[in-house]
Chain A
Amino acid sequence: MAEKACWLTNVRLETGYRYDNGTVAGTETALFHIQIADGKISDIVPADEPLETNVPRRDANGALMLPAFRDMHIHLDKTYYGGPWKAPTIAARGIWTRLEEERKLLPRLLPVARERAERLLELLIQAGSTRIRTHCNVDPIVGLKNLEATLQAAETYKGRAAVEIVAFPQHGLLRSQSVSLVREALRSGAGIVGGVDPATVDGNIEKSLHTVMELAVAADADIDLHIHDPGQLGIFTFQRLAALTEEAGWQGRVNISHALALADIPPEEAGRVAELLARQGITITSSVPLGKTIPIPLLSDKGLRISLGDDSITDHWSPFGKGDSLEKAGILAERFGLRDERSLGQALRYITGGVTPLDPQGRRLWPNAGDDADLVLVAASCSAEAVARRAGRVAVFFQGNQVAGELGAQHAERMRFVE
């Protein structure tokens, strides 16, 4: 699968922080040559050492190397992206309006579902995301047909990105009687059990969560639930989920998407809930909604692992969305006032599965020989700049293969205009 070995030359890597009066004033970088072989980073040498090799070289021209990005929450199967513009209607009855719309909409979108999923995957990969988690509708309206379309799209992009599929009973696992459909989806290529608001949508928190757990344990699958339920209703649901996670021994295998209730409670309480979830290895994915944002830095400080996702990219739920994880990280930084060099650079971890080139003390963490060659070359001088400025993506590598962008003269021209 992987290309033959090559040297990426003149790659900029972060080597430490520069301090001024005890505060981080900037990031030190240096140029390196990086050997890629068998999908891994196999060697890293300073660029000022002569490189004697027969292996092909490709000049990165000083572009900054970052770990590849992850988009951990998207809906590839019902997007308008790549099709004609259509604004969402006014949702007079909230989520029920949207679910009602899906009755007619999903069958209509089905013929173009695969094509649009592929267009969207292309967009995400161009932006530097090579690990993508998509929530795929599994419901009585489309059955497993959206799953088939998503699987086909994932197959097209095999070798260019790792796509994981959540069997998502959008219309309610219980409410739409989709238990056997989800079970079937897990046998047919979906790897993760989904769900949505056990209280509001399913009307039975305990039964809904139990059913999710049973499905997951039977299929040896991870869990990813959309929980928008507000305030103490949401918090109670998280607590029950944590208890069931512990009972089932499913620590490290459960994710909550949105978890909006964490935005409704005082910081001290949010901190306690974060610790409770972290103890069960439960993780959170946020789309960093501008109107109601959960306190991400606070939760992260309490040990809760948080990832970001784009969620809707122009569909009947929302007309917005860019499909750019780095944009999400930048929005997060702006939202929470992360403006100094260290905070900006460290914000990268939310879109890289926790990997940053430097740790908060400025020690080099990444890359190391032996790491997967999943990386993005960007037109920036450091991670902080990349996040704040949403630096231009020069090239994207997945498992050692270049999957987007271009290294070459054109790129060298671009590097001269780094902002």
Chain B
Amino acid sequence: MNKTYWLTNVLLETGYQVENGMIAGTRTECRHLLIQDGKVAKIVPAVEPVSDEHSVLDAKKLLALPSFVEQHCHLDKTLLGDRWRATTPAGSIFERLEIEKQVLSAVSTPTQMRAERLLDIYSRSGVTHVRTHVDVYPEVGLDNLEQVKRALQTFEGKLSSEIVAFPQHGLLRSKSKQLVREALRQGASLVGGVDPATVDGDPEASLQEMVELAVAGNAGIDLHLHDADHLGIFTIKRLAQLTIEAGLQGKVAVSHAFALGDISQAQAEDMGALLADAGVAIITSVPINRRFPPVGLLRRKGVAVAVGCDNIMDVWSPFGNGDILERAGRLAELSGWADERALARTLPFITGGTMPLDEDGEVAWPKVGDDADMVLVEASCSAEAVARRSKRAATMFRGGIAAGTIE
């Protein structure tokens, strides 16, 4: 978007309000933002008149937040847009995998259409960047990748994306190495994987192959790891080691990593230090039916943590509404983060780390030169937005309105 315009009367956070040494609220002020070439070019107090050579879009005191990042979804798996179906009970992950193969091969709504349906929900909820896993396995080859790429094409100019080539049926187990390699050539930028122990049956070979593919394809890694307690920890430690050896620090993530929720606090502290050192990120969908990684502890240890919605009405789960802010609110609720600052500090888990106020309560966002990626919400501050899942009025991507309206 090349248009230059004034986004006027935007509510921005300016600091915390302190009473008796305690944070009692968030201070905000209205500002006008000059949007130029998709960036924030100027920020002026709302009392100042705006120059009239540019058009004006009045935000009417809506609160601006950094736009959201959906760090874990499966655009090719959702059944949104097709008929309702509950989850068919399955005795094991292998049974579930078979059911999924059957259902997805028979579903009449094309993958692209279902993916677009979900992308539309994401866009309206404030998301401007999506990391999606896309299944690759012999029966579908790269078909899902093609369909998801087309869906993302439809949303060009509304959000950015990255694709994980995800061998859902096991990198080794389904012999999908070639397919993953090919997917990396055709638009995927991360190597996926799932439970190197339980699904592939050989964690060492499975992890080695992932790392090899990533290095050869100049790609990152995002591993789905459901394996619990000691088995999961063993796998994470080995992946961290291989990450350092391959020089992939900062490019590797473990999704779910349930095992981190199964260990003692002391062990979790050690794992946090290890993950931070190896530059391995943790992505959680904030499940409520089992223990999950101690997000607050990991943040304290310097681990990059992000939240993703994961399943949105698919063969694995009938739940999920595709609202990443809802997930952040759930994380706060589960973690007992209920005061003003703790609530506000939940936001960076869904914004790729960006937050309006930094740890000291100083303004950290938006700054002149930042991409004009923001979501305008009906709230008085970040804390309220997280706790109340406040209504999103409009999503802005690179200065253009991607969803909603400000009229």
Contact = CB atoms under 8 A, between A and B. Distances in A.
Interface of A: 23, 25-26, 84-90, 290-291, 314, 318-320, 322, 330-331, 333-337, 339-341, 344, 380-382, 384-385, 388-390, 418-419
A11 B39 CA distance: 51
Given A319-B387, A341-B86, 9 more contacts: A87-B343, A291-B334, A319-B383, A339-B319, A381-B83, A384-B318, A385-B86, A388-B319, A419-B313
Contact of B330 (A87, A290, A333, A382): A290
A384 B319 CA distance: 11
For the complex of A and B, 10 pairs with smallest distance between CB atoms: A319-B387, A388-B318, A339-B87, A341-B86, A87-B340, A85-B384, A385-B84, A290-B334, A85-B380, A90-B339
B289 interface: yes
Contacts, number: 98
Interface of B: 22, 24-25, 80-81, 83-89, 288-289, 313, 317-319, 321, 329-330, 332-334, 336, 338-340, 343, 379-381, 383-384, 387-389
A336 B89 CA distance: 14
B336 A87 contact: no
Contact of B86 (A84, A344, A390): A344
Main secondary structure of the interface of A (DSSP, over half): loop
Contact of B329 (A89, A320, A336): A320
Best-buried of B25, B87, B318, B384 by chain A (most CB within 10 Å): B318
Contacts of B339: 87-90
- Counting chain B CB atoms within 10 Å of each CB, the highest count among A336, A389, A390 belongs to A389
Nearest to B82: A419
Q: Most chain-A CB neighbours within 10 Å: which of B86, B317, B333, B381?
A: B86
A418 B319 CA distance: 15
A87 B80 CA distance: 35
B88 A23 contact: yes
Contacts of B81: 419
B388 A319 contact: yes
A337 B388 contact: no
A26 B88 CA distance: 10
B336 A389 contact: no
**Chain B: interface secondary structure?**
loop
B289 A320 contact: no
Given A23-B89, A320-B329, A334 B319 contact: yes
Nearest to B86: A341
Nearest to A88: B338
27 contacts: A25-B88, A85-B381, A85-B383, A85-B384, A87-B25, A87-B338, A290-B330, A290-B333, A314-B387, A318-B338, A319-B338, A319-B343, A320-B329, A320-B333, A331-B288, A334-B319, A336-B289, A339-B87, A339-B319, A340-B87, A340-B88, A384-B86, A385-B86, A385-B318, A388-B86, A388-B318, A419-B84
Contact of A334 (B289, B336, B388): B289
Contacts of A336: 289
Contacts of B317: 339
Given A290-B288, A331-B288, A339 B381 contact: no
Nearest to A391: B84
A272 B389 CA distance: 39
B338 A337 contact: no
Contacts of A319: 338, 343, 383-384, 387-388
Contacts of A340: 86-89
Interface core residue of A87, A382, A390 (most chain B CB under 10 Å): A87
A26 B81 CA distance: 18
Contacts of B321: 389-390
Contact of A335 (B24, B289, B380): B289
A344 B388 contact: no
Contacts of A385: 84, 86, 318
Q: Which of A85, A90, A314 has the most CB of B within 10 A?
A: A85
B388 A389 contact: no
Contacts of B88: 23, 25, 340
Given A388-B319, A390-B321, A84 B380 contact: yes
A333 B319 CA distance: 9
Nearest to A344: B86
Contacts of B85: 26, 341
A384 B313 CA distance: 12
B318 A85 contact: no
Contacts of A318: 338
